[in-house]
């Protein structure tokens, strides 16, 4: 077995490893997922390019010249996030995972180290060994979007004008902010909105045909109105099924969406970190659940 740094040429092979690992786990849990590796690549290639470009650490494991596992992290200011950690079925529990995790998610890096983790018991054991612990569940709320009344004004995000506000609200809610390059990537894939009451901006949100989030409000009481606008935009875009990633502490958001007819998907993830951080009662992370 050979462990080396990942490169842009490895992107599609890594996506295939992720597909094999995730679909195997889902099948074992009685929640089979749809789509071939090629279908997943068609919808997730842009995300792979972003993660490859902004990786803090990216390591792959090879066996006979074939990639059998990989781990990758990104870093924003002092937040180190493990975005992916996958080993193909049949090669797990052979020391591959530990070798990858030690390199991609070192305990010496980052003020805060976080993971959006599945409930795979072997991976959870690794994450606890890597000095993180479960903070709260992450729910996927799923529903058919419809027009919803809301009491906030909304205007389209302009990175040059609004980047500083988005960064400020992220530091207020998460403690760390993503850069303008990542905002531009989000705007390539989805709509971005700034929300205001009167003349005061209070929140931001992203929604598109292929996903939703991130969303953050300065005051958690504004979350229902912002989610109503996001739902309305999804309906206008022709989205048939809208998925939103809701942290357990975001009780206003969860209750609002349940009242709107959404349901909690059986697949529940966990936010793990080396210490408590953020104000997750006013945050909806990026979806699909790769990073915050």
Residue-wise pLDDT for 154-195, tens only, equals 999 999 999 999 999 999 999 999 989 889 989 998 999 999
Q: What is the pLDDT of residue 109?
A: 93
Q: What is the pLDDT of residue 83?
A: 96
Q: What is the pLDDT of residue 90?
A: 77
Q: Give mean pLDDT, residues 210-238.
A: 97
Exposed, middle or buried, 125 (CB in 10 Å: 0-12/13-18/19+)?
exposed
Domains of the chain with bracketed CATH: 2-131 (3.40.630.30), 142-266 (3.40.630.30)
Q: CA-CA-CA-CA torsion for 228, 234, 187, 243, nearest 10 degrees?
A: 80
pLDDT level of residue 136 (50, 70, 90 thresholds): very high
Residue-wise pLDDT for 16-70, tens only, equals 988 888 888 878 877 777 788 787 777 777 778 778 888 999 999 998 889 999 9
Q: Could you tell me which residue, 182 or 206, shows the higher pLDDT?
A: 206
SS3 category, 244: strand
Q: What is the pLDDT of residue 93?
A: 61
**Cα distances (angstroms) measured from residue 182 to each of 47, 49, 78, 223:** 11, 12, 16, 23
Q: What is the pLDDT of residue 256?
A: 98
SS3 category, 36: coil
Q: What is the pLDDT of residue 47?
A: 79
Q: What is the pLDDT of residue 92?
A: 66
């Amino acid at each position: 077995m050979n462990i080396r740094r990942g490169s842009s040429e490895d992107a599609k092979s890594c996506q295939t490893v992720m597909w094999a690992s995730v679909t195997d786990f889902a099948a074992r849990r009685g929640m089979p997922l749809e789509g071939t590796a090629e279908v997943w690549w068609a919808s997730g290639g842009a995300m792979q390019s972003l993660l490859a470009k902004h990786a803090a650490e990216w390591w792959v494991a090879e066996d006979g010249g074939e990639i059998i596992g990989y781990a990758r992290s990104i870093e924003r200011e002092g937040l180190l996030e493990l975005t992916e950690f996958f080993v193909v079925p049949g090669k797990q529990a052979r020391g591959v995972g530990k070798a990858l995790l030690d390199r991609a998610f070192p305990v010496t890096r980052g003020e805060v180290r976080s993971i959006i983790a599945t409930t795979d018991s072997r991976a959870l054991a690794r994450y606890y060994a890597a000095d993180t612990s479960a903070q709260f569940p992450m729910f996927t709320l799923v529903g058919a979007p419809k027009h919803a009344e809301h009491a906030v004004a909304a205007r389209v995000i302009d990175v040059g004008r609004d980047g500083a506000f988005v960064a400020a609200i992220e530091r207020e809610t998460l403690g760390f902010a993503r850069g303008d390059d990542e905002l531009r990537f989000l705007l390539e894939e989805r709509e971005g909105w700034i929300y205001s009451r009167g003349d005061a901006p209070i929140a931001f949100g992203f929604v598109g045909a292929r996903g939703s989030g991130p969303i953050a409000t300065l005051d958690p009481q504004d979350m229902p109105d912002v989610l109503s606008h996001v739902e309305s935009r999804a309906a206008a875009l022709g989205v048939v099924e809208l998925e939103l990633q809701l942290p357990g502490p975001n009780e206003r958001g969860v209750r609002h969406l349940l009242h709107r007819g959404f349901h909690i998907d059986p697949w529940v993830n966990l936010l793990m970190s080396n210490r408590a951080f953020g104000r997750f009662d006013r945050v909806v992370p990026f979806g699909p659940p790769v990073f915050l």
